[in-house]
A and B are shown apart, each in its own frame.
Chain A
Amino acid sequence: MVSKPHGGRLVDRVARGRRRELLLDEAKELPRLEVGFDRAVDLEDIAHGVYSPLEGFMVQEDYLHVLYDMRLSTDHPWTIPIVLDADPEELGDVREGDDLALTHRGRVLAVMRVEEIYGWDKREYARMVYKTTDPKHPGVAKIYGMKELLVGGPIDLVDELPNPLERYTLWPAETRVLFRERGWRRIVGFQTRNVPHLGHEYVQKAALTFVDGLFINPLVGWKKPGDYRDEVILAAYEALVKHYYPRNVVVLAALRMNMRYAGPREAIHHAIVRKNFGCTHFIVGRDHAGVGDYYGPYEAWEIFQEFPDLGITPLFIREAFYCRKCGGMVNEKVCPHGDEHRVRISGTKLREMLRRGEKPPKTMMRPEVAEAVMSFDNPFVEA
């Protein structure tokens, strides 16, 4: 059966029709807070139920529970604080209980009921969530760059950000209906930010063997120079699915969501998000959402032991490689041969080859996938 939303309730804070008009009208009179792209993306994700049961940005009680207990104040597992930051001068005389219009590039995106304004300790946040206070950690650096106060309270979304990938975007309510229509009972979610190579395909297919459907859900929208462009990732996956997966076992949809590089905590977060999309299972990679060497290679697996009530089953599938002796894709668990027989697939190496216009060997990437990538003039995000 399609998984239950986290916390038992699929959140929908998207204002529609008459209610939307009323809110837009009200917003004209309200104090405004301009938010950056990251917070605007959070707004969309909250409103569309990606972060169910959250109905807005966290108030202090939830924030502290998440920081120290990895749970919401309702006791449901939650590992990443979802918070809105502001400077005192931006808030002016906004008080708790007031409504606030949240704008992005001057356009009203949402109306927020301000429940609480509170201070926070960024170093403590970094220490608890990232297990390091090192400003060289990209997640920590982002936190240190945030403003001095946090504003908590429920939101209503009145407008969406422009979405160049609209036709690839599905929200939880939609995938839940879709999975049911397809008759899937067990669905495995796959998180990615990359063009698929043979290792990814192996991991997905290993999982797919035991379930009805695979939900491939690339994170998009916030790339750094050198990353594959979003449309390249989607085109590459379309090629892979078309040529190497049976019909009707895959749903490919993009998700615009902030990447936080919080390693183990983020692995839990990614699982909860896919549970809201209706997944019953979730593939957790080695060093999932990690960066540098801040987290041990299996920490993202071990942390799942602390959550008997997560409501989605993690699948820990080992990294795959090609073994010449076995004559196929294998992993540590099933191949007895030495390193001299193994072809390790390196994402970095593949990127370099594709950048030079070189087609990677078939033991690393499907030719159709490579062709899809190379059909773009520049598949990479420019500096």
Chain B
Amino acid sequence: MTTLDREPALQRLHEMVRMRRFEEKTAELYSDGKIRGFLHLYVGEEAIAAGLMPLLGAQDNVVSTYREHGHALARGVTARAVMAEMFGRVDGCSRGRGGSMHLFSTAHRFWGGNAIVAGGLPLAVGLALADAMRGRSAVTVCFFGDGAVAEGEFHESLNLAALWRLPVLFACENNQYAMGTALERYAAQPDPCRKAEALGVPARRVDGMDVEAVSQASAELIAAVREGQGPRFVEFATYRFRAHSMFDAQLYRSKDEVERWRERDPIASFEARLRQRGWIDDAARAAIDAAVASEVDDAVAFADASPWEPVEQLLRDVTTPRAAP
């Protein structure tokens, strides 16, 4: 495997730490009641967004799920805008209307956290269709969980993308569970790559706990998609360290299993690798922590200072305002 150069490697580490600290803060804020509704954390899965997202350009599209804080941050949506959204404030990236599960930023071609499992896949096919029809060389990356592979929309969307040779990278974050149901307990064929292949989409399995593996594989896949070779499917094998959402007693998995995966923590393992290479020392690591802590504190302060939308505006943004005739 080719490794990342020093600078990009340090950036990836920084990005993963940033996502982790941001989300750990949101869990605290949830207990404080600042953040409400459903909150699905990406803790453990950071290497995927950190490895893949920097490979995309401004013209590319990203479609995501309700577990999308890391995707949004890595795509460039500011920590302030994401935090304010989770607070429900008017300066949030969706004006507070969406919350944790519905982060949108058209400026980043970030087409939303979708909380209907597999709901984003057809959307990604359409975004890619538009690019193909307009002759743009953009790529659409569509993130979804392993659970989404069981939905009809997965099968329908992959078929359509393959049939029309559309520039989509279907990125399956296989964290081994759909809520509390383990992959082997809901899928007769537990290998999602074989399903993708059956639908005519070349597929590849990648270690989603290793940011360099993610980065290298994603670069190759994105290049193939961009060249017009049609869609690709990638399964990132990963694990969520925390509960599915804040309302989950985790009756369905053992602490041992969680511990075994935690030993492969994408941040700790990458940091150890960088230390071996002599690219990072205690001081540099502490500097990352300090930078991230101050960015997160700033985001919280920003979100807390952002106003609530006045109730008088309740009915706005249901339909598009028409220009006066």
Indicate whether A and B interact.
no
